[in-house]
Structure 1
Amino acid sequence: MGVSMETAEVWIERWERQQQHYAVAREERFTVIGDVVEHITTGRPRPLLLDLGCGPGSLAARLAARLPDAGIVAVDMDPLLLELGRTHHADTARFVDAVIGEADWTDVLALEGPLDAVVSSTALHYLSERTLLRTYRSLFALLRPGGALVNGDHFTLDDRRCADLTAMVGRRRAERSRTREHEDWRSWWAAAAEDPELADLFAQREKRRAASGNHDGNDNDLPLACHVELLRAAGFAHVTPVWQYGDSHVLVALKD
């Protein structure tokens, strides 16, 4: 059920381009996440990182290039994206198939020790509030003292007028960044479904999505303030956004 390196390279390159439709200032966000992780892991000879909702390994690959001595565990539930990542980024991370937030999901990670940092980018917004709190608590338990959870995502604000303003700024930035060559999410998946080499993985993905009731586009719509409250309830004493462009933020939670 594996894919060739050539096929993985083609689809990951197309993935990188289509993601520019959704992640405002994506490369800058990745850089800021790397800044935080590098700061948190200073002096650690082989930091251990967990990438949540890793997809085909976009963030993991950037962190591996910046922190070559780090051990990275990348987790996702999508079999097709995981296989693309395993093939194209074989030396970047250990890719794990797991459903974030399910009971005992952290057991399958087979971690070698406490985590130095947990990272995520536009991946946790589909979890319900209850599941998100449970996930934050499990991650708090996995982190070493002084470790951090670093989440880059689009967060609304409680104030509706401010939320409208930040969304507009982000939308304008995204529009300026696009070219006619950029696919969107739906067109990428539609094209991938037509590739014979991905057929088995695509069928497995569709079967899993149907069984779980998960559909693309689901969003918990939780505002930034709610994420901060949930992180504090999970045990994180220090929570702050460290970067913002429009409604795109990098939110950091520190464990004492």
Structure 2
Amino acid sequence: MGVSMATAGMWLERWERQQQRYAVDREERFTVIADVVEHVTAGCARPLLLDLGCGPGSLAARLAGRLPGAEIVAVDMDPVLLELGRTHHANAARYVDAVIGDDDWTDTLGLDRPLDAAVSTTALHDLSEPALLHTYRRLAGLLRPGGALVNGDHFPQQGRPLSELTTYVGRRRAERSHAHTHEDWESWWAEAAQDPELADLFAQRERRRAAARSGDRGGGHLTAARHAELLREAGFRHVTSVWQFGDSRVLVAVKD
């Protein structure tokens, strides 16, 4: 039995507010990602987009609104967030259950042509460095020439003084926008776990989290410079940041 639209809508609304605590200028970051995708898909009648670590479809829904002719494939491994997305943002994307970074994860995507763009926001930092390089190589193979990988995330600076400075600037920005008053990540998950409609999904989630803990999944946050090195090693020659506030950036890699 699926989740009702009312339940999905309620938890999605709380998710959106909760995420504002962590992604500095989150809406602007989404907008910049959409700007990049709009640019690289100009002239494409039906661009094919891949949303990596899609969660409940927040970015996919915004891209669908900006580019109504796009076909979006949204992939994640969290059964709770996937079901919320499938229910509340059903028309935004085709949702795929897969573990990004696993050996065969791209085989489950069901792509019928090269990607025009791959996007992600606050997700790829969960990968270990070897898994991240593997993922970048797979994406380089899936993208068409001129296609782009667009990653919005928090990228710490090299060295403690600059890392602390950019983190502080971002935190002060969040305080000025009152984002720090929203519920936090732990509270959202703790309360959602008490919802009877989500009980089966949370049981699946816990089984997957236990399996993930036994494998090599943790990576921590790498600097933007290290991401750029891995992207070039994976075959992307053109890598740049197109937006930054504090340690929040949008990093773009374009395929030749």
Q: Distance in 2 between matches of 1:26 and 1:108?
A: 29
The amino acid of 2:40's aligned partner reads I
Moved more, 200-209 or 158-167: 158-167
Q: Distance in 1 between matches of 2:187 and 2:138?
A: 35
> What is the correspondence of 1:104-253 to structure 2 with a 5 Å cutoff?
104-178=104-178, 182-213=182-213, 219-253=219-253
C-alpha spacing 1:179/1:48, structure 2 compared with 1 (3 Å): closer
Paired position in structure 2 for 1:54: 54
**Deviation, structure 1 residue 180:** 7.3
CA contact (8 A) 1:21 1:184 kept: yes
Q: Distance in 1 between matches of 2:184 and 2:214?
A: 19
SS state of the match for residue 149, structure 2?
Answer: strand
The CA deviation string for residues 183-206 of structure 1, in whole angstroms up to 9 with x for no partner, is 110000011011001101011101
**Deviation, structure 1 residue 112:** 1.6
Paired position in structure 2 for 1:99: 99
Q: Distance in 2 between matches of 1:132 and 1:125?
A: 8
SS state of the match for residue 239, structure 2?
Answer: strand
SS state of the match for residue 116, structure 2?
Answer: strand
In the alignment, is residue 37 of structure 1 matched against residue 50 of structure 2? no
Q: Distance in 1 between matches of 2:179 and 2:212?
A: 35
**Deviation, structure 1 residue 159:** 3.6
C-alpha spacing 1:13/1:38, structure 2 compared with 1 (3 Å): same
In the alignment, is residue 89 of structure 1 matched against residue 89 of structure 2? yes
Q: Distance in 1 between matches of 2:181 and 2:14?
A: 10
CA contact (8 A) 1:149 1:254 kept: yes
CA contact (8 A) 1:152 1:250 kept: yes
For the aligned residues, what is the CA RMSD? 1.5
The CA deviation string for residues 90-145 of structure 1, in whole angstroms up to 9 with x for no partner, is 11000000000001100000012100000000000010111100000000000000
| Identity score, percent | 73
TM-score by length of 1: 0.96
Gaps of 5+ in 1: none
Q: Distance in 1 between matches of 2:143 and 2:180?
A: 43
Q: Distance in 1 between matches of 2:180 and 2:248?
A: 23
Q: Distance in 1 between matches of 2:114 and 2:82?
A: 24
The amino acid of 2:203's aligned partner reads A
CA contact (8 A) 2:18 2:188 kept: yes
TM-score by length of 2: 0.96
Gaps of 5+ in 2: none
